[in-house]
């Protein structure tokens, strides 16, 4: 565990704000801007008051304990009183227990909006509010060169084929395998450029940026609000070019319905011990994105009021679901590590934000890239079951990768606000 030194005498104030305009346009040219935005709503932040990095199977508990201790010591003045006001930390956790880099980052300035109500939260050290920085123009990526990552497409196909063989032999039911791709520019990549392209193309997804991990996810791992919990499970995918009636094909696919049922069942099994009520749909719906369509199920529950789990405790209970891990969980995680042979980092881990009351939102870090100066490491993956076809899964991963490739190469840059 690594904790950045904390300043003393910290105060934090949240106050209402007139319409701030497009939230992403407020981000200054920080190396690692902070974002969780869907349509007109969400949160953006910059500057850094504090951070903690954690590793290991107890990383959620360690982060939760640190966050509780940190917020208890603050002098808080909250004039809004809604989830996401007061102190907030942006969160991003690794997929695997042993992978380093899980982090909570507390921004010095945060601007947020929900349902037409906007607010600003600023930390100070007894010296008045923090200054809102001027916004410099967003830098396009320029010419990009693509190269194989740690697991190229050919290796990914072999991994899928081996996973299918083991599933047909009865070793496990499902595993979600992924591969990576590198994109390199001539200058450091601007996370705001990538965020803007993703937000325009995928307005119904959550466009996120935490500590260099930038992406747009359609999947809500867990949302906690005033004693309730909600989750959106996505599993089962089809993409344009596979026929005319994509929703009908997806709903009628035994392979995709089976994959989806495994993901929903794993999530529900993890949440039930923490809830007094849990509503799980019997039949999935279909959500359509520009590049793919998914089977989706929205799960809702009421937390046990005797021991209401915090957002990070909920994340510890449900991650990884079968949607991004597999079934049985332990066998799938071991298979992923063996066949991928790479560290996923924070790809497919929980990402989002948490407030001082333990409320917040954590999506699953899908359709993402880890930025490191001029290099972006892109990820995409698929749920593999016994009926999976390796060539089809390669095409599905490529369709999912389109989101990041298009956003990185987008030539339509919105003007930055001064």
73 is catalytic: no
Catalytic choice (174, 340, 396, 400): 174
Site of tokens 């749920």: 383
DSSP H stretches of helix in 341-389: none
Residue 393 half-sphere exposure toward CB, CA atoms < 13 A: 29
219 is catalytic: yes
CA distance 271 to 294: 22
Strand partners, 123: 12
| Cβ proximity of 375 and 352 under 8 Å | no
| Residues constituting the chain | 418
CA distance 265 to 233: 10
Site of tokens 């209401």: 308
Encoded tokens for 368: 């993402």
Site of tokens 């500057």: 47
Residue 1 half-sphere exposure toward CB, CA atoms < 13 A: 14
3-class DSSP assignment, residue 247? helix
CA distance 6 to 49: 7
Residue 396 half-sphere exposure toward CB, CA atoms < 13 A: 23
3-class DSSP assignment, residue 226? coil
Catalytic choice (219, 259, 340, 396): 219
Encoded tokens for 11: 């105060």
CA distance 136 to 357: 34
Tell me if the bond preceding 96 is cis, omega within 30° of 0: no
CA distance 169 to 335: 14
Query: What's the sign of the alpha-carbon dihedral 330, 332, 333, 334?
Result: positive
CA distance 110 to 41: 13
CA distance 186 to 171: 46
CA distance 62 to 41: 30
Antiparallel, parallel or unpaired: β 11-17 and 75-78: parallel
Active site residues: 174, 219
């Amino acid at each position: 565990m690594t904790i950045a030194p904390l300043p003393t005498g910290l105060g934090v104030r949240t106050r209402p704000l007139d319409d701030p305009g497009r939230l992403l346009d407020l981000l200054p040219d920080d190396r690692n801007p902070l974002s969780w935005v869907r349509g007109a709503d969400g949160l953006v932040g910059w500057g850094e008051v504090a951070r903690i990095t954690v590793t290991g199977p107890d990383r959620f508990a360690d982060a939760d304990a640190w966050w509780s201790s940190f917020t208890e010591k603050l002098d808080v003045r909250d004039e809004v009183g809604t989830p996401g006001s007061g102190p907030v930390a942006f969160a991003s956790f690794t997929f695997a227990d042993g992978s380093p880099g899980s982090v909570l980052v507390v921004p010095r300035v945060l601007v947020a909006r929900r349902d037409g109500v906007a607010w600003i939260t600023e930390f100070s050290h007894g010296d008045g509010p923090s200054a809102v920085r001027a916004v410099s123009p967003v830098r396009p990526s320029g010419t990009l060169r693509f190269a194989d990552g740690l697991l190229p497409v050919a290796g990914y196909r072999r991994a899928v084929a081996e996973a299918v063989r083991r599933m047909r032999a009865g070793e496990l039911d499902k595993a979600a395998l992924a591969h990576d791709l590198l994109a390199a520019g001539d200058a450091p990549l601007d996370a705001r450029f990538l965020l803007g392209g993703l937000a325009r193309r995928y307005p119904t997804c959550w466009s996120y940026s935490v500590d260099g991990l930038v992406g747009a996810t359609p999947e809500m791992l867990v949302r906690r609000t005033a004693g309730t919990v909600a989750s959106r499970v996505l599993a089962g995918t089809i993409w344009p070019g596979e026929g005319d009636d994509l929703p009908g094909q997806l709903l009628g696919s035994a392979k995709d319905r089976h994959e989806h049922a495994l993901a929903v069942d794993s999530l529900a099994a993890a949440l039930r011990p923490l809830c007094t009520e849990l509503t799980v749909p019997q039949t999935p719906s279909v959500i359509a994105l520009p590049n793919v369509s998914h089977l989706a199920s929205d799960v809702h529950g009421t937390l046990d009021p005797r021991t209401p789990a915090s957002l990070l405790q909920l994340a510890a209970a449900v991650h990884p679901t079968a949607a991004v891990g597999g079934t049985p969980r332990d066998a799938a995680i071991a298979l992923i590590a063996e066949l991928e042979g790479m560290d996923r980092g924070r790809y497919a881990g929980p990402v989002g934000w948490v407030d001082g009351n333990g409320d917040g939102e954590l999506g699953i870090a899908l359709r993402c890239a880890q930025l490191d100066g001029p290099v972006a490491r892109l990820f995409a993956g698929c749920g593999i079951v016994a009926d999976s076809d390796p060539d089809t899964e390669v095409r599905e991963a490529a369709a999912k990768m389109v989101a990041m490739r298009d956003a990185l190469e987008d030539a339509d840059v919105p003007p930055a606000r001064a």
